[in-house]
Amino acid sequence: MTVAAQSAPTPPSDTATQFNPLLFAYNMTEASKIWQDILKIVAQEDAFTTIPTTADPSIWNLASDYSQWMSSAMKDPAKLMQLSYTWMSNSATLWQETMQNFLETDTIPASNTPDTSGDKRFAGKAWQNNIFFDYLKKQYLMTSAWTQDAVEHLDEDLDEHSQKKLHFYTRQWMDAIAPSNFPISNPEVLQASLESNGETILKGLMNLREDFNRGKGRLAISTTDNKAFDVGKNLAATEGKVIYQNDLMQLIQYAPQTETVFETPLLLIPAWINKFYIFDMQKKNSFVQWLLERGYTVFVISWVNPDAQHKDKTLENYMTDGLLQAVKVVRSVTNTPSVSCMGYCLGGTLLATTLAYLHALGKQDIIASATYLTTMIDFSEPGELGVFIDEEQIQSIEAKMSKKGYLEGADMAATFNLLRSNNMIWSFVINNYLLGKEPFPFDLLYWNSDCTRMPAAMHSFCLRNFYHQNNLATPNALTIAGQKIDVTRIKTASFILSTREDHIAPWQSTYAATQLYNGDVTFALAGSGHIAGVINPPHKEKYGYWTGETKRGLDADAWLSHASEHVGSWWGYWHEWQARFQSAQRIAARAVGNERYKPLEAAPGSYAKLR
């Protein structure tokens, strides 16, 4: 069910900025109508299909973990009493100082309360200038810190995985109940609603209704202005053609922008959980555009957005019908013996898997060099993503996928958003729904929300073999296309880029690949996170990066302690590295396609537009 979105109603003629009870009442009446629309949407059965229920084994497992934690806590009542006493004592001190501040003109600092200066949720002046909200904020932060401290210090009877799950979900729940997330306890929201005579409430509910409609009954929080971008016009607009396609991917070749080009072509391999155009955003931050201006012949794989007909596709299919088929076409079109490849995130994991397979066959020379962007090969320490990986949760995901043959992209996006819930969920709840504002147009967040579905067989394979059992990093533990593979046999020269604030592929985990490959390895660490640290054009002069020698036995922290820091983007550093795999003489720019692989349609192609 979709409820028609309406423009804001025309208010009474008196629109003075001072508080107007009649105007406020009018806006509240209109808001109640929109709220009834929202209730009709969420009342649909489909709106609840993605919400975990008591039949979900992962929910029972988490409840069991908390029950076990409670039993562990009761075994040491002295420690529990000490923690409780600390909280009560600090709370009493805070209340005493708050009342003293209220009764006296001089401000007395609250010595036993958390520092809130770096917390964006409470950065507004309204939180500082009102003694009640200042107390509410400090009491919440104190209680949140105490709760997480109690979980950490009273979990001795739990295994490491259960401990990580409890810490993670405890933080999620404490973040969710922050006073900033509720209109009655957020002074900025109250102030805005009064100053606008309730218009912010009305607009916020309109935004909420629009997001429920867009999610077809599921709340799809807008993180950017979705109307500001159009794939093929102001995103993924670099000139090129689709020159090959099958049921898994389209292969795009970009038109040259220089008279001469490097001889060895470059194939870009995106992850299959988002669209390929992370490589080709707006012209000002398009990596593809930057590569073309420097004389590369650039190809990119655009994965299909799978549906039920793809349910039996495995990682093997993505390798044989995807990456290897793309390499075959690129070699034919460019008439070259080898191709340089660059894989992003899971695209890099696929690249390493393929190289291990090619080394097993003795055919590794068709790939001249390999670049891995924020790519995990050793999944032994996957960061907070690991809290979602255990047998019960995998079974739950597999049961969900069995109904449709795929995992909804929104499910994976929700998982990633939980890793940074204050930034990726609650900040937009406050901005969009409580303050009634429109999200800022941000191209990277638009791409981030343009997620794709995942075939059931392939996703199950990756969860079990990569994240759960770490088979890719274990020699001969994985069989692909009839070959046992071993990434430690890879001799292809590798460039590994990690990002220091990566919450999806922690840089210490991606660094671990330097200790696996058997060939020449160059490692660089960029500033910022999983997306912004990679898509960082040189002209912005942001973030910086670190470089240093890698060698066996050198762990990530030791590497960083001896690394050299550089200003600006890593792109130029990679460009210098890649020059090692090019002939001294450039050649005339190549035409797009050839007689066998003729252009089929203009880039970005139809697969990139499938929702």
> Known catalytic residues?
345
What is the β-pairing status of strands 587-588 and 339-344?
Answer: unpaired
Single-letter amino acid code for the residue at 159 = D
Omega prior to 604 cis, within 30 of 0: yes
| Angle made by CA atoms 514, 518, 524, in degrees to the nearest 5 | 30
Q: Exposure pattern of 370-400 as b/e (b: 16+ CB <10 Å)?
A: bbbbbbbbbbeebbbbbbbbbeebbebbbeb
Rounded Cα distance, 206 and 505, in Å: 36
Q: Which DSSP letter does residue 570 get?
A: S
Q: Around 465, how many Cα atoms within 13 Å sit in the side-chain half-sphere?
A: 20
Single-letter amino acid code for the residue at 512 = A
Neighbours of 311 (CB within 10 A): 16
Neighbours of 405 (CB within 10 A): 18
Q: Is 565 helix (H, G, I), strand (E, B) or coil?
A: strand
Neighbours of 7 (CB within 10 A): 6
The distance in angstroms from the start CA to the end CA of the chain is: 18
Rounded Cα distance, 535 and 540, in Å: 11
What is the β-pairing status of strands 266-269 and 298-303?
Answer: parallel
Residues in the chain: 611
At which residue do the structure tokens 């102001």 appear? 234
Residues 6+ apart with CB under 8 A from 530: 345, 374, 499, 502, 503, 504, 505
Q: Is 252 helix (H, G, I), strand (E, B) or coil?
A: strand
Rounded Cα distance, 575 and 557, in Å: 26
Among 315, 361, 343, residue whose Cα is nearest residue 480: 315
| Angle made by CA atoms 340, 343, 348, in degrees to the nearest 5 | 120
Single-letter amino acid code for the residue at 588 = A
Rounded Cα distance, 499 and 393, in Å: 28
Phi/psi at 518 (5° precision): -100, 0
What are the C-alpha distances in Å from 521 to residues 28, 339, 529? 63, 18, 22
Rounded Cα distance, 578 and 370, in Å: 9
Rounded Cα distance, 315 and 145, in Å: 42
Single-letter amino acid code for the residue at 259 = E
